[in-house]
Amino acid sequence: MPEGGGSHHWKVTDAQGAAYFVTVADLDEQDWLGRTRDEVFGGAGRALRTATALRDSAGLRFVVAPLATSDRGVIKRLGSRYAMSVYEFLAARSFAFGPYPSPALRRAVLDMVIALHQATGAVEAVAVTCAPAVGHREDLDEFLRDPTQRWDAGPFSEGAQQILGAHSAELAEVVAGFDDLVERTAPAGRSLVVTHGEPHPANVMRVGYDVVLIDWDTVGLARPERDLWLVVEEGTGDSDRYEAASGRRVDPAAMTLYRLRWYLDDIASAIRLFRHGHDRTADTEGWWEGLAPRVDALASWRHALG
């Protein structure tokens, strides 16, 4: 089943006719969970155990967590590079990545985020702490150290290097602004909450009359804004709704931090893709077509960071 990104998926039906959704994750493509395959596998297990505890111990029915293995685990290693988890197959409506298609759906997800943050006590012992960091930061930093280095590893390498190289000074300025925001928005004694990490519409499904959240491999303890920037819409009562329900103030600087982290994640992922060996595929063509517009956004980020 060609669904989602970063993992492989199958629908499996057993001899009794029960259907399951099987996910096989590539341990080389989940750097937010660790630096080595073993670290990523351990981080994935911890994330999925957190999701299971949220569903079973905290009673959050909207958490789509994996089924237990025969030895009561949540994930199985497949060779050195892959790991498998199994879920109940959901007959549901999914949504496209991007803005929420309706205010009603956005408010429903905001209410789930509020309930999730309030369930922190149930998973503090197992959940990992997620500091705001740019994925593939080593590729980003290496490029900025020498933006003139020639790329020739694939069909889009040279063109990508030219686009990024022409704006390397602006990119370095925005990266420095991100690092400054990390320091200025540090929790400073404030309690962290358990966050999903990516509660955008593509991770939301409607099952009958219910709405659920999928893809919990990014779950972890962080500032509330790690979730809120993807759900709260300016000019609405979303922030007030969250603050009244949670007793926590929404920090505009932290909202900017996590929005910028997502942007730099995309830039770093493009650098990693195009400076290394790659072929011309639908995926690489999509990244190539999106590269120039992403780089053009540096000007607005420099303005936003002041």
How far apart CA 155 and CA 153 sit, in angstroms, is 7
How far apart CA 131 and CA 171 sit, in angstroms, is 21
pTM higher than 0.85: yes
| Residue 74 burial class via C-beta count within 10 angstroms: exposed 0-12, middle 13-18, buried 19 and up | buried
> Do 128 and 43 form a contact (C-beta atoms < 8 A)?
yes
Q: What's the Cα-to-Cα distance from 210 to each of 26, 62, 203, rounded to whole Å?
A: 30, 8, 14
pLDDT at res. 4: 67
Render the burial of 53-72: b for 16+ CB within 10 Å, e for the rest.
bbbeebebebbbbbeeeeee
The residue whose two tokens read 């969250």 is 242
pLDDT at res. 3: 74
Contacts 24+ apart (CB under 8 A), 50-53: 50/123, 50/126, 50/127, 50/128, 50/194, 50/216, 50/219, 50/220, 51/216, 51/219, 53/122, 53/123, 53/126
pLDDT at res. 189: 54
Report residues of the chain scoring pLDDT below 50. Answer: none
